[in-house]
């Protein structure tokens, strides 16, 4: 499901209490937005976790958070297999991760969009970040 990302020599992991993801703005600049919501956070306005299934977005389950698609520019992401071993996947230079920007009460959170894993990586996990190829 993408438990961590690699961005400009940084490793960011979802369990970190202050984890933020780099979100690429339309003008090409990057801003940092809090990655999802952890179970130990005080009662909040956002769903627990750091991921949004593509199918749940299409079904409208995220509508209360006014979802908008955003792009996460990363060099790599980390998945853990069923034995809890980490596997870092390096992306091609023109690839990014699709995410969902959720908003409520003037606050924003970002959730990585997930879909079924490609067959060649299914042995690692059954959910995978949605990867987007940028135009050359």
Q: Which long-range contacts (CB under 8 A, 24 or more apart) does 37-44 make?
A: 37/109, 38/14
| Whether pLDDT at 10 is above 90 | yes
What's the pTM? 0.93
Residues 66-121 pLDDT 10s: 999 999 999 999 998 889 899 999 999 899 999 999 999 889 999 999 998 888 88
Q: How far apart are the C-alpha atoms of 90 and 5, rounded to whole Å?
A: 10
End-to-end, the C-alpha distance of the chain in Å comes to: 27
- Cα distances (angstroms) measured from residue 136 to each of 72, 92, 95, 97: 17, 12, 10, 16
Nearest to 113 by CA among 28, 64, 53: 53
User: What pLDDT is stored for residue 43 in this prediction?
Assistant: 66
């Amino acid at each position: 499901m993408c438990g961590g990302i690699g961005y400009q020599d940084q490793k960011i992991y979802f369990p970190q209490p202050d984890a933020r993801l780099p979100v690429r703005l339309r003008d090409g600049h990057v801003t940092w937005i809090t990655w999802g919501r952890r179970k130990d956070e005080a009662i909040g306005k956002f769903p627990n976790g750091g991921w949004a299934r593509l199918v749940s977005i299409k079904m409208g389950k995220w509508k209360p958070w006014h979802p908008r698609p955003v792009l996460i520019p990363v060099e790599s992401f980390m998945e853990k297999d069923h034995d809890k071993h980490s596997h870092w996947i390096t992306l091609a230079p023109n690839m990014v991760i699709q995410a969902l920007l959720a908003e409520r009460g003037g606050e924003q959170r970002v959730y990585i969009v997930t879909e079924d894993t490609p067959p060649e990586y299914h042995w690692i996990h059954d959910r995978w970040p949605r990867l987007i190829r940028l135009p050359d």
